[in-house]
């Protein structure tokens, strides 16, 4: 989606940029540098007021009418939210929600998952409270409600935002049948550190890709209109920077420069806001010393002023109270005041708004006008969702809304597209190990994740139920018959006995192929509060893998994980490796169809897969440094005499095990050279494209490449567009993703992937933190992943040569 620009009047521009220009001029005189080579455009990102439902005049009138009738205490009540179900964090000890609701002291509840229970609470709010304001029920619908889909990291590996949108729609339909009208999703925390367990909940490391999914999830949850009974409010979280937790330790502090924040961490949230997201959740982490839940820069200046956000800012679970632990408040009243004044509308679970906010307003410490503004945000959403007209749900329809055949089929489809084939070596017969033949005599199915239904649901299950899951073992037995599948668990996830390993080795010896289903414990080792310093296979699974491989039988390794794992031995010795993430309820059928070639893998990594923990954080869109190490293979000392004084490790390669964007399929593809349809670009053309005001905007640059399917199976390939900008006022990454598309290519066929490169591909946050374009050298790749493709170059010039 296009970023929006506002061009200021010439006088305003002059006033705004004069000090900057003066500084730049003096700097250039002093340093004799090329200060005037850059021409930042004086443009600010324009608020888009995207969600017309949240700024609708009829709703506005109703909000104002209601506000006039409310006491300060009732207003505060709208900003108070509790978990009234299964706790997913430290509790408050409160259980008196019924009484509080009757007094109008609660605006939202969550973790209530049946229609009977939501109706019961709603009845109290609507029938017993003085102003009859309905409550808004929320839940963590992270990858489905009852129909569980793959974890979000897996969904992002599809590189198909439409699948995410359809999955979110299913979740909205199911959850709304129980009265839940608010999803605490999507999680848009860009993350470069797989030690952080919550990478499982996000979409990986790239702002362009995460933004594409952000828009899709919002569309899926909110549908065409929030008023539809099947639409629910999206909540883009965790705002912001949470994914940069130092050392990958959950809840840890973050230090992110304004440049990096604006260029990488904020764009997914901006994309969600532009798509109309009705709410944002403020994060736990401190950001440059200021907790994200008390950060007026991100919550007020960026979110409200620059982006024009009209929806709710909800705190994360007790993140208001945690301001005391952060050390910026010595008591609850100060914590409530600081969070509120920084822009947090609703207090999730802390109970501090309930305890202190009314007093703060009565004493004048907080203005009533500010209170009104926050209440408006909440009431707007409730009106937009139609809760005042339809506060209840039909309990009789609840169960029929779950697990529809279409939803289950979609879950399988998404899972199939999420699998990333990391390796598929040729065997001695000259054919790759995968796909397996239907005629195979027998298969050893080994490993703790081959038949564990609950594990397939990952870390957030919502209403997901192991009983709804078809495991790999049951799907394989269904396909091949029980006698052809030799199952041995071989190991638990974290422990194994020698006898278990021996049984697995024996099963492998008696079979044609060994399929090992190994990996992490989804609920325990991935997601929130699940950071790890050691990313190997847990327990004795590596030993199991090596023992089975030692039988000489061909091995297919299926990795179930919420993050890239460190698997150097497997990457070298195991012929076929499939990253399966946690695939959801259709894990077994999706995997079996993939293993036997009924469908081909199409997934690509949305996160760089490291070789060792010591390389972390590792991400493809890194800066070049002043002393780049040129490495074309994985050897730490290529040819034994690499340069010492370059940016590298003594004992490890800089290269990842598998790069961002990487994924194989069951055929081979050959990429031709990247071709550009122009030899030069002009700065004013790009500015025109960015401002989108000219009717004669020039044709955008086209980048293309031929892709030939050199194998014998059809392929659906995600073709990626990358650029590098050089000669810029700030260092730009060695590559940045600027587009992707999926094309299907028949065996022997050559297809041309053509990208219209938008003006945004050349824009970046410059050294003044202004989103701008400059006359620069651009390198473009049309490539299968972030580490391949042939470069093509073009210059952006101030004037025609
Ligand atoms: C804490 C988590 O950080 C957040 O993602 C979640 O939405 C809330 N708990 C509510 O469960």
The protein residue whose alpha carbon is closest to atom 8 in ligand 1 is 317
Query: What distances in angstroms separate CA 176 from CA 119, 201, 456, 465, 659, one per listed residue?
Result: 12, 22, 24, 18, 39
- A 10 A CB-CB count for 347 gives 30
Out of 51-65, 168-182, 782-796, least confident range: 51-65
For residue 6, what pLDDT is reported?
29
On the question of pLDDT at 15 being above 80, the answer is no
CA distances from 195 to 220, 243, 536, 791 (A): 30, 11, 11, 33
Cα 317 to ligand 1 centre (Å): 6
Ligand 1 pocket test: which of 237, 285, 321, 322 has the largest number of ligand atoms within 8 Å of its C-beta? 237
Q: Which atom of ligand 1 is nearest to the CA of 187?
A: 5
**DSSP labels, 361-430:** HHTTSS-HHHHHHHHHHHHHHHHHTTTTT-----GGGTGGGSS-HHHHHHHHHHHHHH-EEEEE-B-TTS
Judge whether 277 and 234 are in contact, CB under 8 Å: yes
Model pLDDT for residues 517-555, shown as the tens digit of each residue: 999 999 999 999 999 999 999 999 999 999 999 999 999
Mean pLDDT across the stretch 318-334?
Answer: 98
- Tell me the two tokens of residue 729: 């006022």
Atom of ligand 1 nearest to the CA of 88: 11
**Pairing verdict, β 791-797 and 777-783:** antiparallel
Q: Which atom of ligand 1 is nearest to the CA of 284?
A: 3
H or E element: which one contains 686? helix 683-691
Identify the three-state secondary structure at position 737: strand
Q: 180 alpha carbon to ligand 1 midpoint, in Å? A: 16
Give CA separation, 72 vs 79, 314, 360, 362, 583, in Å: 11, 19, 10, 8, 48
Q: Please state, for a pLDDT cut of 70, what percent of the chain lies above it.
A: 90
Kindly report the three-state secondary structure assignment for every residue of 467-534: HHCCCHHHHHHHHHCHHHEEEECCCCCCCCCHHHHHHHHHHHHCCCEEEEEEECCHHHHCCCCCCCCC
Q: Which of 88, 217, 284 to mutate to test the pocket of ligand 1 (most atoms within 8 A of CB)?
A: 88
Any bridge partners for residue 445, and if so which? 487, 515
Q: pLDDT tens across 229-254, in order?
A: 999 999 999 999 999 999 999 999 99
**Could you tell me if the CB of 88 is within 6 A of ligand 1?**
yes
CA of residue 125 to ligand 1 center, whole Å: 24
| Beta strands, E only, 626-678 | 669-671, 675-676
Is the distance from CB of 106 to CB of 97 less than 8 angstroms? Answer: yes
316 lines ligand 1 (CB under 6 A): yes
Highest mean pLDDT among 1-10, 621-630, 744-753: 744-753
Q: Kindly name the residue from 274, 316, 345, 452 that is annotated as catalytic.
A: 316
Question: Binning pLDDT at 50, 70 and 90, where does residue 636 land?
Answer: low
User: Taking every pair of C-alpha atoms in the chain, what is the biggest distance, in angstroms?
Assistant: 82
Going by the DSSP 8-state scheme, the letter that residue 193 receives in this structure is -
Q: Is 217 in the pocket of ligand 1 (CB under 6 A)?
A: no
| pLDDT exceeds cutoff 80 at 692 | no
Confidence of residue 21 (pLDDT cuts 50, 70, 90): very low
CA separation for the pair 287, 301 (Å, rounded):
15
**Ligand 1 atom 10, closest CA:** 317
How, if at all, do strands 443-446 and 513-519 pair?
parallel
Amino acid 92: pLDDT? 73
383-416 pLDDT tens trace: 999 999 999 999 999 999 999 999 999 999 999 9
Q: Which helix (H) or strand (E) holds 799?
A: none
> If DSSP codes are grouped into helix, strand and coil, which group holds residue 741?
strand
Distance CA 169, CA 62 (A): 29
Q: How far apart are CA 318 and CA 351, in angstroms?
A: 8
Q: Does the Cβ of 314 fall within 6 Å of ligand 1?
A: no
pLDDT band for 691, please (50, 70, 90 cuts). confident
Q: What's the mean pLDDT when you consider all of the chain?
A: 92
Burial status of residue 238 (CB atoms within 10 A of its CB: 0-12, 13-18, 19 or more): buried
Query: Which tokens go with 562?
Result: 């919420």
Q: Tell me, what's the pLDDT at 700?
A: 80
Most ligand 1 atoms within 8 A of CB, residue of 528, 529, 530, 531 to mutate: 528
Q: Does the annotation count 316 as an active-site position? A: yes
% the chain with pLDDT above 90: 86
Can you give the pTM of this predicted structure? 0.93
pLDDT value of position 250: 98
Tell me if 252 CB under 6 Å of ligand 1. Answer: no
184 within ligand 1 shell (Cβ under 6 A)? yes
């Amino acid at each position: 989606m296009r970023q929006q620009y506002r061009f200021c009047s010439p006088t305003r521009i002059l006033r705004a940029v004069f000090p900057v220009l003066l500084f730049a001029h003096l700097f250039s005189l002093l340093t004799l540098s090329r200060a005037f080579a850059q021409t930042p455009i004086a443009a600010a990102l324009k608020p888009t007021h995207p969600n017309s439902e949240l700024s609708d005049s009829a709703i506005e009138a109703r909000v104002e009418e209601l506000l006039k009738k409310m006491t300060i205490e009732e207003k505060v009540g709208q900003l108070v939210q509790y978990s009234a179900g299964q706790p997913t964090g430290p509790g408050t000890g409160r259980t008196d929600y019924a009484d509080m609701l009757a007094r109008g002291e609660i605006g939202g509840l969550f973790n209530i998952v049946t229609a009977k229970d939501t109706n019961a609470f709603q009845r109290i709010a609507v029938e017993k409270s003085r102003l009859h304001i309905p409550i808004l029920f929320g839940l963590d619908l992270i990858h489905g409600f009852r129909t569980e889909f793959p974890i979000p990291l897996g969904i992002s590996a599809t590189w198909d935002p439409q699948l995410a949108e359809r999955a979110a729609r299913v979740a909205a339909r199911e959850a709304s049948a129980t009265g839940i009208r608010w999803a605490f999703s999507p999680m848009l925390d860009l993350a470069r550190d797989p030690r952080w367990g919550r990478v499982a909940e996000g979409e990986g490391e790239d702002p362009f890709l995460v933004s594409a999914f952000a828009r899709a999830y919002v569309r899926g949850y909110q549908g065409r209109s929030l008023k539809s009974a099947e639409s629910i409010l999206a909540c883009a979280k965790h705002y912001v920077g949470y994914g940069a937790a130092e050392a990958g330790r959950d809840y840890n502090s973050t230090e992110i420069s304004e440049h990096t924040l604006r260029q990488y961490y904020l764009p997914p949230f901006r994309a969600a806001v532009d798509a109309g997201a009705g709410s944002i959740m403020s994060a736990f982490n401190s950001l440059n010393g200021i907790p994200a839940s008390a950060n007026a820069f991100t919550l007020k200046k960026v979110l409200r002023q620059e982006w024009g956000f009209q929806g709710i800012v909800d705190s994360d679970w007790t993140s208001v109270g945690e301001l005391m632990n952060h050390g910026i408040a010595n008591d609850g009243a100060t914590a409530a005041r600081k969070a509120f004044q920084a822009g947090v509308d609703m207090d999730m679970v802390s109970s501090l708004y309930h305890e202190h906010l009314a007093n703060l307003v009565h004493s004048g410490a907080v203005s009533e006008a500010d209170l009104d503004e926050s209440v408006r945000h909440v009431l707007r959403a409730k009106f937009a969702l139609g809760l005042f007209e339809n506060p209840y749900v039909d309990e009789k329809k609840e169960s029929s809304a779950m697990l529809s055949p279409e939803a289950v089929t979609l879950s399988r489809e998404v899972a199939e597209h999420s699998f990333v084939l990391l390796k598929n070596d040729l065997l001695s017969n000259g054919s790759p190990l995968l796909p397996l033949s239907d005629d195979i005599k027998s298969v050893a199915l080994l490993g703790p994740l081959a038949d564990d239904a609950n594990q397939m649901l990952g870390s957030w299950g919502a209403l997901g139920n192991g009983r709804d899951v078809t495991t790999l073992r049951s799907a394989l037995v269904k396909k091949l018959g029980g006698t052809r599948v030799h199952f041995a668990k071989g190991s638990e996830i974290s422990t194994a006995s020698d006898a278990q390993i021996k049984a697995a080795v024996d099963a492998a010896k008696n079979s044609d192929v060994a399929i090992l289903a190994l990996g992490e414990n989804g609920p325990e080792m991935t997601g929130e509060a699940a950071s790890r310093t050691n990313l190997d296979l847990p327990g004795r699974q590596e030993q199991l893998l090596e023992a089975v491989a030692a039988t000489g039988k061909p091995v297919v390794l299926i990795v179930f994980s919420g993050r890239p794992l460190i698997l150097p031995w497997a990457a070298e010795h195991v012929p076929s490796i499939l990253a399966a993430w946690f695939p959801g309820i259709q894990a077994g059928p999706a995997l079996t169809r993939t293993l036997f070639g009924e469908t081909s893998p199409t997934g690509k990594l949305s996160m760089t897969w490291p070789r060792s923990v010591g390389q972390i954080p590792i991400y493809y869109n890194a800066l070049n440094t002043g002393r780049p190490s040129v490495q074309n293979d994985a050897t730490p000392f290529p040819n034994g005499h690499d340069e010492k004084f370059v940016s590298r490790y003594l004992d490890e390669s800089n290269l990842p095990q598998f790069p961002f964007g990487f994924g194989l399929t069951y055929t081979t593809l050959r990429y031709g050279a990247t071709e550009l349809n122009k030899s030069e670009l002009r700065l004013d053309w790009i500015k025109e494209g960015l401002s989108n005001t000219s009717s004669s905007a020039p044709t955008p640059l086209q980048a293309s490449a031929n892709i030939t399917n050199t194998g014998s199976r059809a392929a659906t390939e995600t073709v990626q567009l990358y650029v590098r900008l050089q000669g810029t006022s700030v260092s730009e990454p060695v590559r940045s993703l600027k587009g992707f598309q999926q094309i299907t290519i028949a065996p022997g066929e050559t297809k041309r992937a053509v990208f219209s490169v938008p003006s945004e591909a050349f824009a970046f946050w410059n050294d003044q933190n202004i989103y701008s374009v400059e006359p620069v050298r651009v390198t473009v790749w049309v490539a299968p992943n972030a580490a391949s493709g042939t470069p093509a170059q073009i210059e952006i010039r101030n004037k025609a040569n």
